[in-house]
Structure 1
């Protein structure tokens, strides 16, 4: 119980709980949309989804400053690739929060003379670029892990043994591809923080892709991916050892 209280006392913890609830409602609405007996429930879920979204926008009012400070820190990284990827991700994330804050001000009537659709698209573009930068970092880290594994004599012996014990796989699939997949899976298995961050970013990517019309899916896919990434975010926030660093 103490861990739960500590988690919900964090603004990020509250935001992720709201986010999970928002996308759970969106997924439920999609699944129940054709059920005529559930129209009242669908209407309530849509209302709850809107409430969760509005609550999240309020929680994020100070996140622009956090993103700027994070960009300052990542600019000091000695690894040039990580420096570039993480700084770009934080800058675009900060721009996304600026757009999000303007949309919030528009929704509560603080500002009126803005194009809501244009600002919403700009927010999605910044979110998309931030995710691409984060995914590039994930791929870079995974490649580094795989290179380290290949240089490990004990692991090479384990991989050779795997290929010998599964000749039918090597015959059906190109042996080099089988070895690559084995290396990739073993690398991710030994570093769950990297695997979770990659999965979270891939799930999140479907949201701006759909919004920008780059890859049209549907509300069900967006809801499911948003829910999955939110649950991963909750797990990594509750268990810091599962959070990728830097």
Structure 2
């Protein structure tokens, strides 16, 4: 959260005159925190391997496939991250830093893309349950003129958004996980040149993702479980 707040503030302050010293301090703080985060993540390779083993045991084949492949890419991402940290602190030498950065961004992108596919699959399941419940309520209703989302006068987009809203409202961990993965994927998309974003968008997306991650730590029940 500190790192991406620095990126966002730096983007907002750079165009303003007389803010050069503050911008430079934010840039140094951002660089220091980034290196520190890589150091804190050194043990995450083990966690990613454990997550892969857990995802293999998922009962639903779609999440099982998506999460297993996602976590395998996450393992490689953390290995690349550890190599980059070693280069940052001078433990290794060589001129292939850019190559490791691209590998890291690529596998991070694959991890997030597969995680988003799993989120979309879960959303479709939730929307199906909401639609099923709605039909049951309509069949048991005594009012023949009652509202129906499948009525001909109802717009398709309106019905879709209503189902989506009710599905995510019913399942907050799914909403939080989707928002987090969507915000996170902006970073590798920018690094790989697939979709260029300005530092302000990257900083804001990273900050929102960090806050979502903090929520899942403070409230473990908000973390999306493997089914």
TM-score by length of 2: 0.91
- Maintained 8 Å contact 1:67/1:93: yes
Aligned to 2:132: 151
Is the aligned partner of 1:178 residue 2:158?
yes
1:162: Cα distance to partner? 6.8
Matched, 1:79 2:65: no
Q: Does 1:161 align with 2:144?
A: no
Contact 1:149/1:155, CA 8 A, preserved across alignment = no
Rounded Cα–Cα distance in structure 2 between residues aligned with 1:114 and 1:81: 40
Q: What do you get for the CA RMSD once the two structures are aligned?
A: 1.9
> Structure 1 residue 221 and structure 2 residue 201: aligned?
yes
| CA apart distance, 1:113 | 2.2
Q: CA deviation at 1:55?
A: 0.7
CA positional deviation for 1:114: 4.8
1:155/1:238 Cα in 2 relative to 1: closer, same or farther (>3 Å)?
farther
Query: Please, which runs of 5 or more residues in structure 1 have no aligned partner?
Result: 1-19
Q: Would you say how many aligned residue pairs link Structure 1 and Structure 2?
A: 219
Aligned counterparts of 1:229 and 1:154: Cα–Cα separation in 2? 37
- 1:155 deviates by 7.3
Matched, 1:108 2:89: yes
Question: Among 171, 179, 188, which residue is 2:168 paired with?
Answer: 188
* 1:106-127 per-position Cα deviation (integer Å, ceiling 9, x unaligned): 1111110250001001100000
Work out the CA distance in 1 between the residues paired with 2:149 and 2:75: 47
Q: Structure 2 vs 1, CA of residues 81 and 37 (structure 1 numbering), >3 Å: closer, same or farther?
A: same
Q: Give me the whole-angstrom Cα distance separating, in 2, the residues matched to 1:64 and 1:114.
A: 24
2:42 maps to 61
Specify which of 33, 41, 46 is matched with residue 27 of structure 2: 46
How far off its partner does 1:154 sit?
2.5
Structure 1 residue ranges, 4+ long, deviating more than 2 angstroms after superposition? 154-157, 160-164
Structure 2 unaligned spans of 5+: none
Task: Please name the residue that 1:22 is paired with.
Answer: 3
TM-score (norm 1): 0.84
Residue 196 of structure 1 and its aligned partner are, at CA, apart by 0.9
**Higher helix residue share:** 1
Q: Residue 7 of structure 1 corresponds to which residue in structure 2?
A: none
Does the Cα contact within 8 Å between 1:74 and 1:83 map onto a contact in 2?
yes
Is the 8 Å Cα contact of residues 23 and 226 (structure 1) preserved in structure 2? yes
Contact 2:138 2:148 in 1 (8 A): no
Please give the alpha-carbon distance, in whole angstroms, between the structure 2 residues aligned to 1:155 and 1:221: 43
Q: 1:148 to 1:105 in 2, by over 3 A?
A: same
